[in-house]
Amino acid sequence: MGQKKWLETEQSVSDILKLKPGLDFDQEEKEMRIQRIMNLAAFNGKKERIGFGNFLVRQISYTGWKIWLAQGIFVAVFWILFFGSRASDMAEIARLIGRNLPFFFGMIAVAQVMILIPFLERSFRYQMYEMECATRFSCSGMLGACLIYGTIGIVGIFGLCMAFSAGYKNVSAGEVALYFLVPLFVSCNGCMVVLRNMIKQCGVAEGRELFLGGESVCLICIGVLAVGARCVPGFGGHWIIWGVILTVAFLGMILQGRELMKGVSYAA
């Protein structure tokens, strides 16, 4: 606290003590009380303000581990359900994945977005938006933390998929990257559009609407993957089309993310 500010605060406290008839202290008592108040004001001004990096680390014990656990559980359950009793037969697994490559990796990618949605809209669901917007880290900071945790988990799962492809001749790393990233970016774009529209219309997005809207977008993506893999000949072989979609979706996701953060900060 600067010297000028300190003197102004001391004068204000002194004036208050003079104005209050019930606070008719002698000069020594008055000076002692003023000093106590000034010490308290100085202490409050020195409260710790952590940076976003420290905030991110501290939130791991509250949010981060839950996101990573949910992502890991999904991959394990999906593996068992998709392959059933053949989950230990690696040759059969490679054959099945080779036949359903776009759907298999696309489903894993979109599911990661579905897992993230409940965490992203937690503050809206529990009506904590206003409180978070009044804190040092606004809602955009909370959203950013969840997105970073989710991205770390997605990168880990993507790495596992790439490592899996390295062991099989009929599954290339390029195909895995394409079929994983395209559905991931498309579903992220859709969810960002839903969230932006809700914040724009309502000022504060309703948790239930955000949950239903985001999950619906992801289910539509999964449906398109399933229908395409079953009904469109050479669905996964149109590399140019997949590449164009990937590029457009990536650029769209960057633009949507920037606009989303601006909208959330403005609403804050």
**pLDDT tens column, 195-252:** 777 766 655 555 577 778 888 999 999 999 888 878 777 677 778 888 899 999 999 9
- Please give the Cα distance from 113 to 215 (Å, whole number): 8
- Please give the Cα distance from 187 to 210 (Å, whole number): 14
Burial 85-116 (b: 16+ CB within 10 A, else e): eeeeeeeebbeebeebbbbbbbbbbbbbbbbb
Task: Please give, one letter per residue, the 3-state secondary structure of the chain.
Answer: CCHHHHHHHHHHHHHHHHHCHHHCCCHHHHHHHHHHHHHHHHHHHCCCCCCHHHHHHHHHHHHHHHHHHHHHHHHHHHHHHHHHHHCCCHHHHHHHHHHCHHHHHHHHHHHHHHHHHHHHCHHHHCCCHHHHHHCCCCHHHHHHHHHHHHHHHHHHHHHHHHHHHHCCCCCCHHHHHHHHHHHHHHHHHHHHHHHHHHHHHHCCCCHHHHHHHHHHHHHHHHHHHHHHHHHCCCCCCCHHHHHHHHHHHHHHHHHHHHHHHHHHHHHC
Instruction: Give pLDDT, residue 239.
Output: 80
Instruction: Give pLDDT, residue 185.
Output: 94
**pLDDT tens column, 236-245:** 777 888 889 9
All residues at 6 or more sequence positions from 197 whose CB lies less than 8 Å from its CB, including other chains: none
Look up residue 75 and give its two tokens.
Answer: 């991959």
Report whether pLDDT(110) > 80.
yes
- Please give the Cα distance from 267 to 259 (Å, whole number): 12
- Please give the Cα distance from 117 to 191 (Å, whole number): 8
Report whether pLDDT(19) > 80.
no
* Spatial contact of 188 and 253, defined as CB atoms under 8 Å apart: yes
Please give the single-letter amino acid code of residue 201.
Answer: Q
**pLDDT tens column, 58-94:** 888 888 899 999 999 988 888 777 666 565 565 666 6
Which range has highest mean pLDDT (115-124, 130-139, 175-184, 256-265)?
175-184
* Spatial contact of 191 and 183, defined as CB atoms under 8 Å apart: no
Query: Regarding predicted confidence, which is higher, 123 or 236?
Result: 236
